[in-house]
Amino acid sequence: MEWSIQDIARIAGTTSRTLRHYGEAGLLQPSRIGANGYRYYDEDALTRLQRILLLRELGLGIPSIVEVMQGETDDAHALVSHLQLLAQEKTRLDRQIASVALTIRKLKGGEQLMAEEMFDGFDHTTYQAEVEQRWGKDAYTRSDQWWRSKSDEEKAAFTAQHVAIAADYASARSGGAASDSDDVQAIVARHVDWLNLSSPVTGGAITARRLVGYGDMYVGDPRFAANYGGRDGAEFVREAFVYYAEHSLA
């Protein structure tokens, strides 16, 4: 059996450009080249290609894959060192997220705005007067003190976590995931953990009832919905909350 470059690309789920690139890189040569210069690939090449694509999906660079395919390194070894790279990347990212969050807060004008901002994302009340009206007269003070008690690092981490959670909802939703899918429910679990971080302020761990209450608030208030990509995003989160409340907080 023999296929043209386009055929192989379709079968393996990649592009002809990529195949030519692998050819240049010495990763995968066509099994035959026609008199007209066209590349043709056989079944061995297809198998090899699929292995290459797997390693690429795992993030290995072409030189590493070349090594592996030449048998100088076994797959596991290459993946382990790759894993170390990924881990480093991750901590670098974590650090950067923390500094960016910190810088944002500094730019926004110092501690004064912090309680508001945090409350804004946390229980959707932006102004002190509103907080007091909605949550009781000393809620603002309690929250403000709690927030001030945190170090800069902790504040940044807290903010960053929420941003990450919101981003995850967004990508899950755009990827077509259902609000009761495992993926989304896993995000909710993290979200609940995050909410529980401030349980000292709100008085105890999240209950099913409270979680659904939050969901309603997210949908009802555009300032909060904005955190989740608008009304539709907030609605998605609310559905996920409801499901989670029923199945995991019962």
Partner DNA sequence: CTACAAGTTGACGCAGCGTCAATGTCAACA
Partner DNA sequence: TGTTGACATTGACGCTGCGTCAACTTGTAG
- Write down the least CB distance from residue 138 to a copy of itself, Å: 30
By beta-carbon proximity to a copy of itself, the closer residue of 201 and 225 is 225
Q: What is the secondary structure of 231-245 as a DSSP string?
A: HHHHHHHHHHHHHHH
**Separation of alpha carbons 111 and 61, rounded Å:** 44
Scored b (16 or more CB within 10 A) or e, 30-49 reads beeeeeeeebbbeeebbebb
Q: Is 36 in the site for a copy of itself (CB under 8 A)?
A: no
The footprint of DNA (CB under 7 A) covers: 4-7, 15-18, 20-21, 25, 36-39, 56, 61-63
Q: How many residues bind a copy of itself (CB under 8 A)?
A: 34
Write the interaction track for a copy of itself spanning residues 151-170; mark x where CB under 8 A is met and - where it is not.
---------x--xx-xxx--
What's the rounded Cα separation, in Å, for the pair 157 and 70? 43
Q: Whose Cβ is closer to a copy of itself: residue 40's or residue 194's? A: 194
- Encoded tokens for 27: 């990763």
Cβ-Cβ contacts under 8 Å for 208 (sequence gap 6 or more): 245, 246, 249, 250
Q: Which of 101, 118, 157, 237 touches a copy of itself (CB under 8 A)?
A: 101
- 222: its two tokens: 């555009």
Binding site for a copy of itself (CB under 8 A): 57-59, 75-76, 79-80, 82-84, 86-91, 93-94, 96-97, 99-101, 103-104, 107-108, 160, 163-164, 166-168, 171
